Structure 1
């Protein structure tokens, strides 16, 4: 009986030890599970942190880009405001100019009429070369002034062209055929506005224009050949050469 009691106590002790070991293993497992769970949570948190850091870095980069863009836009807007200010000033100038157009137009017509009048007087007092052609040009100017379909700029252009033509006469040499007041057909030749001659077709009569007396003055036979040569030069029938011709000295 005694031997059996000892055996029972030993078994109980063994069972208690086994139970304690099992409890310790369970606790250890619980701790390990908790550590693993904490590790997983830490890993998830780190992933979230990393993701948040990446997003923050991206946002910061975008923010710097936006700031740089905004700075450029502010500079551009400031420059555009200066441009707009200048344009507004120009618009005001144009408005004032437009307001003066009517007054300018009222002054332009009398100016152009005076220009035609002055040119007409000049032609009538000038050496009478190609006089019909020049008078016709002046007549056309008068028609242009009175034509309602012609704009003021076009009128002014035509008048300036007439002035230009008169200026060119003083820089050229020209020969042409026309009639004298007595109806005879002769050859005229002009050297600028310095000298003006005519010669009959047979070459027997040569004369020069005297601006003081406003009449023709007959020349001696010694000038017949030089005037004939001058006519040929003006017509490009012979090269330009030196000639001896009567030319009146310019008056003071």
Structure 2
């Protein structure tokens, strides 16, 4: 009986040992499973962190790009505003120039008829004046009429030449002037020295100093000069050419007509 009980105890012990061994084995398997799961979790966490880090780096790069785009936009906006101001200023300048051009055209409409009148008046003046360089002066009037019909000559240049012609006419009326030329008298052409004292008197003397003439503006013709004035006329011509010192001389001058 005692042997039977001992065998039962041994069997129970063996069963308990097997149970404990089974429990230990199961526990070992659970621990391994937990460790594997933890390793997987760590791996997953690591991958997640890597993704997070990658996404963060991408977000940082996008942020930098965004800031660069914003800076470029601001710079472009400033530049575009600057260009717009330049364009506005240029448009204003163009508008001002157009107004000036329109004004010039309107001015031309008044200036051109005036220039024709000035040329007509100049021609009439030369015809009525003493015949001082008359051919040269009439040729100048003709040139003025030609340039008025020239399309390649600007209105300003036309006006400038007309005013220069008027200035030249004014110069004829100042000082003592002598020049050599040809005198038509009684059907004969004579080489003479012309002399004029402004527009007060116009005279001529033959190159041999033996004859002299004076222009009668009222009659519109040359008349023989009294021999008594030949010496004074010779001296006056030399004074005009600065060949002798200025001095008092006596010459005939036709009195100016009194306007009625």
- Seen in structure 2, the aligned counterparts of structure 1 residues 132 and 35 have a Cα distance that, compared at 3 Å, is closer
What residue in structure 1 maps to residue 3 of structure 2?
none
Q: Is the 8 A contact 1:127 1:196 kept in 2?
A: yes
SS for the counterpart of 2:24 is helix
Higher-Rg member (1/2): 2
Out of 165, 179, 182, the position equivalent to 1:175 is: 179
What residue in structure 2 maps to residue 223 of structure 1?
232
After superposition, where does 1:138-157 map in structure 2 within 5 Å? 138=141, 140=142, 144=146, 150-151=150-151, 153=155
SS for the counterpart of 1:31 is helix
What residue in structure 1 maps to residue 34 of structure 2?
27
TM-score in terms of structure 2 length: 0.66
Mark the runs of 5 or more structure 1 residues left unpaired by the alignment.
234-238
Q: Is the 8 A contact 2:194 2:205 kept in 1?
A: yes
What residue in structure 2 maps to residue 236 of structure 1?
none
What residue in structure 1 maps to residue 63 of structure 2?
56
Instruction: Give the CA deviation at 1:62.
Output: 0.6
TM-score in terms of structure 1 length: 0.68
C-alpha deviations, 1:83-112, integer Å up to 9, x for none? 4356446546756775x58x927x844x34
After superposition, where does 1:1-252 map in structure 2 within 5 Å? 2=7, 5=11, 6-7=13-14, 9-81=16-88, 83-84=90-91, 87-88=94-95, 91=98, 94=101, 100=106, 104=109, 108-109=112-113, 111-138=114-141, 140=142, 144=146, 150-151=150-151, 153=155, 159-160=162-163, 162-170=165-173, 173-182=177-186, 183=188, 185=190, 186-190=192-196, 193=199, 196-206=202-212, 217-218=225-226, 219-220=228-229, 222-223=231-232, 225-227=234-236, 229-230=238-239, 233=241, 241-244=244-247, 245-246=249-250
SS for the counterpart of 1:14 is helix
Q: CA RMSD in A?
A: 4.3
- Seen in structure 2, the aligned counterparts of structure 1 residues 179 and 28 have a Cα distance that, compared at 3 Å, is same
